[in-house]
């Protein structure tokens, strides 16, 4: 008996095994279950729902004062700098990094664009190109320190934030270039501030650039090999390396692109503020604002998860809250309080979504 049992050729039973792709009867998961599935595959939905809800609530409460093409496009103009920075920040956070130097890179790039024109007499387009190039170079330095020297992104960019901001003051000698001078001598620097009307809505080229940038990055991240590599590197860099992704090259390209986008944000800043100032608040606040937008947008700080559209919605949510509460005459501190609550809520939702799997 015992030997019969041990000699049993159990694998022969496989001959009759099913060869169809498994399919199951549709199983009602209930509302929570389906919502969970939906969010797992479309992480940008949460911020989109919050954004739409916020617009509706403020629209009802404030009426046509808020719910008008003018006010709604005013929000776009107010978030254009943070929106561009958030697009950059999203890329870094998708690779499981964080960039504290985005605002500083934007400010120094705007200062370089201004000073190269006014101090060195370069034609404005060349000065803009120089600003974009130097932004990219700072990004490359960040990327090299993270990828080759293997320092934590938080530390690298914490240091770079201070270095770049200080260099910015030293180089500009703390001088502001006045808007009138730019308007008279180098209007090209104001290019991103060029306004045009569609109906009652006012757009600037900066807003247009922000929207196109987000759409372009969304396409690239979803539909190109490079985009998939960014996610893979953020998800599990060792697995990505073994599977054949050049992790170093991917990280370098991400950090350089982020430097470039931040410099672009610097150009948008000149259009928005009119003047070029080394002490623009973006230098100190740009990093926190962009991280806030990214987190509210549902991009996981652990990397590899989330959509750049979410970060864009996140930036808009902040803009809607700021304008809506200001129009309602509330103390501005309410904005910060609500944004803070939103950040914590967004991360809780992220944790819930991640629980899906296993």
Partner 1 sequence: MEPILKGRNLVKRYGKVTALDHCDFDLYPGEILAVIGDNGAGKSTLIKAVSGAVVPDEGTVTLEGKEVRFSSPIEARDAGIETVYQTLAMSPALSITDNMFMGRELRMPGVMGKWFRKLDKPAMEKFAREKLSELGLMTIQNINQAVETLSGGQRQGVAVARAAAFGSKVIILDEPTAALGVKESRKVLELIQDVKSRGIPIILISHNMPHVFEVADRIHVHRLGKRLCVIDPKDYTMSDAVAFMTGAKEAPEAA
Residue with token string 């004062």 = 65
Q: Is 22 in the site for partner 1 (CB under 8 A)?
A: yes
Q: Is 225 in the site for partner 1 (CB under 8 A)?
A: yes
Q: Could you give the CA distance from residue 205 to residue 197 in angstroms, rounded to a whole number? A: 11
The contact mask relative to partner 1 for 128-167 (x = CB under 8 A, - = no) is ----------------------------------------
**3-class DSSP state of 100:** coil
Q: How far is the CB of 17 from partner 1 (least distance, A)?
A: 6
Q: How far is the CB of 237 from partner 1 (least distance, A)?
A: 10
Q: Is 45 in the site for partner 1 (CB under 8 A)?
A: no
Q: Contact at 8 Å (CB) between 172 and 115? A: yes
* Neighbour-count burial for 31-46, b at 16+ CB within 10 Å, e otherwise: eeeeeeeebeeebbbb
Size of residue set near partner 1 by CB under 8 A? 38
According to CB under 8 A, which one of 35, 239, 337, 341 is a site residue for partner 1? 239
For the chain, counts of helices (H) and of strands (E): 15, 2
What angle do the packed helices 45-62 and 308-327 form, to 10 degrees?
20
Q: Could you give the CA distance from residue 77 to residue 208 in angstroms, rounded to a whole number? A: 10
Q: Is 349 in the site for partner 1 (CB under 8 A)?
A: no
C-alpha dihedral sign at 222, 227, 230, 233: positive
Q: Is 49 in the site for partner 1 (CB under 8 A)?
A: no
Residue placing its CB nearer to partner 1 in the complex, 116 or 231? 231
Q: Is 358 in the site for partner 1 (CB under 8 A)?
A: yes
Q: Could you give the CA distance from residue 214 to residue 88 in angstroms, rounded to a whole number? A: 9
Q: Is 20 in the site for partner 1 (CB under 8 A)?
A: yes
Q: Could you give the CA distance from residue 295 to residue 315 in angstroms, rounded to a whole number? A: 10
According to CB under 8 A, which one of 53, 215, 344, 356 is a site residue for partner 1? 356
Q: Is 212 in the site for partner 1 (CB under 8 A)?
A: no
Rg (CA), the chain: 24
According to CB under 8 A, which one of 11, 27, 149, 333 is a site residue for partner 1? 11
- 106, with CB counted inside 10 A (0-12, 13-18, 19+), is buried
Q: Is 347 in the site for partner 1 (CB under 8 A)?
A: no
According to CB under 8 A, which one of 3, 9, 64, 357 is a site residue for partner 1? 357
Q: Which segment (204-212, 232-240, 264-272, 286-294) binds partner 1 by CB under 8 A?
A: 232-240
Q: Contact at 8 Å (CB) between 113 and 270? A: yes
Q: Is 26 in the site for partner 1 (CB under 8 A)?
A: no
Q: How many CA within 13 A on the CB side of residue 174?
A: 1
According to CB under 8 A, which one of 19, 32, 64, 121 is a site residue for partner 1? 19
Q: How far is the CB of 93 from partner 1 (least distance, A)?
A: 14
Q: Is 15 in the site for partner 1 (CB under 8 A)?
A: no
Q: Could you give the CA distance from residue 269 to residue 280 in angstroms, rounded to a whole number? A: 9
Q: Contact at 8 Å (CB) between 251 and 95? A: yes
Residue placing its CB nearer to partner 1 in the complex, 178 or 228? 228
According to CB under 8 A, which one of 245, 269, 270, 293 is a site residue for partner 1? 245
Q: Could you give the CA distance from residue 292 to residue 299 in angstroms, rounded to a whole number? A: 10
Q: Which segment (7-15, 49-57, 78-86, 343-351) binds partner 1 by CB under 8 A?
A: 7-15
According to CB under 8 A, which one of 18, 32, 121, 333 is a site residue for partner 1? 18
Q: How far is the CB of 293 from partner 1 (least distance, A)?
A: 21
Q: Is 283 in the site for partner 1 (CB under 8 A)?
A: no
Residue placing its CB nearer to partner 1 in the complex, 15 or 333? 15
Q: Could you give the CA distance from residue 255 to residue 92 in angstroms, rounded to a whole number? A: 7
**Where along the sequence are the contacts to partner 1 (CB under 8 A)?**
10-11, 14, 17-24, 40, 219-220, 223-226, 228-229, 231-232, 235-236, 238-246, 304-305, 356-358
């Amino acid at each position: 008996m015992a030997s019969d049992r041990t000699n049993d050729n159990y694998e022969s039973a496989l001959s009759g095994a099913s060869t169809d792709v498994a399919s199951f009867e549709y199983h009602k998961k209930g509302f929570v279950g389906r919502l969970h599935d939906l969010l797992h595959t479309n992480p940008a939905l949460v911020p989109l729902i919050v954004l739409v809800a916020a617009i509706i609530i403020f629209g009802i409460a404030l009426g046509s004062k808020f719910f008008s093409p003018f006010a709604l496009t005013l929000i776009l103009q107010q978030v254009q700098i943070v929106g561009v920075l958030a697009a950059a920040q999203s890329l870094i956070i998708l690779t499981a990094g964080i960039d504290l130097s985005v605002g500083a890179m934007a400010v120094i790039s705007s200062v370089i664009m201004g000073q190269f024109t006014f101090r060195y007499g370069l034609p404005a387009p060349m000065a803009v190109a120089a600003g974009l190039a130097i932004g990219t170079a700072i990004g490359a330095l960040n990327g090299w320190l993270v990828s080759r020297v293997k320092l934590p992104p938080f530390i690298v960019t914490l240091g770079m934030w201070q270095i770049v901001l200080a260099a910015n003051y030293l180089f500009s000698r703390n001088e502001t270039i006045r808007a009138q001078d730019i308007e008279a001598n180098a209007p090209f620097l104001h290019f991103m501030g060029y306004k045009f009307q569609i109906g009652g809505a006012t757009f600037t080229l900066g807003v247009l650039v922000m929207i196109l940038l987000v759409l372009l990055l969304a396409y690239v991240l979803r539909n190109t090999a490079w985009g998939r590599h960014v996610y893979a590197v953020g998800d599990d860099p060792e697995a990505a390396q073994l599977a054949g992704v050049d992790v170093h090259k991917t990280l370098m390209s991400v950090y350089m692109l982020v430097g470039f986008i931040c410099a672009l944000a610097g150009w948008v800043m000149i259009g928005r503020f009119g003047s070029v100032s080394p002490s623009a608040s973006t230098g100190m606040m740009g990093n926190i604002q962009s991280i806030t937008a990214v987190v509210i947008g549902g991009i996981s700080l652990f990397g590899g998860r989330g959509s750049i559209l979410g970060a864009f919605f996140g930036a808009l949510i902040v803009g809607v809250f700021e304008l809506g509460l200001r129009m309602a005459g509330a103390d501005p501190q309410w904005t910060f309080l609500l944004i803070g609550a939103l950040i914590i809520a967004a991360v809780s939702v992220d944790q819930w979504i991640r629980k899906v799997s296993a």
